[in-house]
């Protein structure tokens, strides 16, 4: 690179860093445009979140929308999303049935639940958001529903791994086989379990929360998070594919990107934060010399040459902000976010992909100080402190 290009690049990075100052200044934020754009594009009038890639709905999408509605103090949309979820994913009662993870059009043309198995990451986000909605809006009904969900999760989706301890299974069925447990590191935001432990000290949440830093450290490969891992007692954690017929190889990609996101959003006073960040140094090292995050990390911890979607850049921004010496890498991801924002729709990326927007909502909402998680996992919201 010649000196002219080097100076230009340095100047662009410096300008981007200045442009990012409002995110960190603690000033009053205005309308959350990205959320409004997302809701307009992906949430129908019934409260159903639709992934346009296949016209299907997942419990993950419903849980995230519920959280963002709470962050935006949008009670009407919160109730709409919650009601659709209860009616269509939980057989009318979240207090009795964990939400099915997949809903859409069957081969016979009928719209219905396509897989009754639940996804524990969605379930814990539902419980967390209902707990915090009950507290912040003073609605005991939400709190009651959260506690009922927590009881179901504890019964159906928590296992005691021999030689390791309590851990969240990805769902009630299909993840324990022949002495091997299949787990997903991205299903474990530490602050969620800190809050659940605070609300239910007698439950398994404290043990899970205490195990998360050790789990992330032991399951990472060459300093990178993996999508899925197998645990074998006496041998430890190994990269794994989710299903036996999975087309994608094991490694880290669209699931694992959230591990960095959750780590970056942890409170500085939470001692688990430093342990988790120390277990995941390699993405920051990679981005010190590359413009875009890799789309995939191999099972051996080697980044691919293909860059990930803009949602990857968004997800890594809180992580880079938390990693010392990563200011320029953070600024480069901010530049990409700005460059790939569609001024007409307000969404990110050429494909305006549903998953990218979810990652960006978490990242920008956090960086703009619309929300944060304190050391106990409690949700701190801008509107609640006005």
- Residues acting as catalytic residues: 60, 121
Residue 28 corresponds to which tokens in the numbers above?
């009053």
Under 8 Å between Cβ of 363 and 263: no
- Residues 95 and 146: beta-carbon distance below 8 Å: no
| Kind of pairing between the strands at 57-58 and 371-373 | unpaired
Residue 234, CB-side half-sphere exposure with 13 Å CA sphere: 1
Length of the chain: 386
**Which residue from 122, 82, 52 is spatially nearest to 357, judged by alpha carbons?**
52
Q: What are phi and psi of 76, to 5 degrees?
A: -65, -45
Beta bridge pairs of residue 298: 251
Helices 327-339 & 3-19, crossing angle to 10 degrees? 80
- Whether 342 and 294 have beta carbons less than 8 Å apart is answered as no
Centre a 10 Å sphere on the Cβ of residue 217 and count the other Cβ atoms it contains: 14
């Amino acid at each position: 690179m010649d000196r002219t290009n080097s100076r230009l690049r340095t100047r662009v990075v410096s300008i981007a860093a200045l442009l990012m100052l409002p995110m960190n200044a603690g000033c009053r934020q205005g309308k959350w445009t990205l959320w409004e754009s997302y809701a307009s594009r992906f949430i129908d009038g019934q409260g159903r979140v639709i992934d346009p890639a296949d016209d299907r709905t997942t419990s993950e999408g419903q849980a995230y929308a519920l959280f963002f509605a709470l962050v935006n103090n949008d009670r009407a949309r919160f109730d709409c999303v919650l009601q659709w979820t209860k009616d269509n994913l939980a057989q009318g009662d979240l207090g009795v049935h964990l939400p099915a993870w997949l809903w859409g059009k069957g081969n016979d043309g009928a719209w219905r639940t396509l897989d009754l198995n639940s996804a524990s990451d969605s379930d814990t986000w539902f419980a967390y958001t209902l707990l915090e909605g009950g507290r912040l809006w003073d609605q005991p009904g939400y709190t009651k529903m959260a506690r009922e969900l927590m009881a179901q999760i504890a019964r159906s989706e928590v296992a005691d791994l021999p030689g390791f301890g309590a851990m969240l299974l990805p769902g009630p069925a299909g993840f324990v086989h022949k002495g091997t447990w299949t787990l997903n590191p991205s299903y474990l935001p530490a602050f969620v379990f800190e809050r659940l432990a605070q609300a239910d000290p007698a439950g398994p949440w404290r043990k899970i929360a205490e195990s998360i830093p050790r789990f992330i450290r032991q399951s990472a490969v060459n300093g990178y998070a993996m999508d899925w891992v197998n645990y074998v007692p006496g041998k430890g954690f190994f990269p794994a594919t989710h299903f036996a017929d999975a087309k994608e190889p094991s490694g880290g990609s669209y699931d694992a990107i959230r591990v960095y996101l959750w780590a970056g959003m942890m409170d500085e006073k939470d001692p688990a934060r430093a342990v988790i960040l120390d277990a995941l140094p390699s993405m920051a090292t990679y981005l010190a010399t590359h413009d875009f995050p890799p789309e995939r990390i191999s099972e051996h911890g080697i980044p691919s040459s293909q860059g990930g979607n803009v949602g990857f850049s968004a997800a890594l921004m809180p992580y880079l902000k938390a990693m010392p010496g990563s200011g320029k890498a953070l600024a480069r991801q901010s530049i990409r976010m700005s460059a790939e924002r569609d001024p007409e729709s307000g969404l990110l990326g050429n494909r305006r992909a549903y998953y990218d927007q979810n990652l960006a909502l978490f990242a920008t909402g956090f960086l703009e100080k619309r929300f944060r998680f304190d050391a106990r996992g409690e949700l701190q919201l801008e509107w609640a402190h006005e």
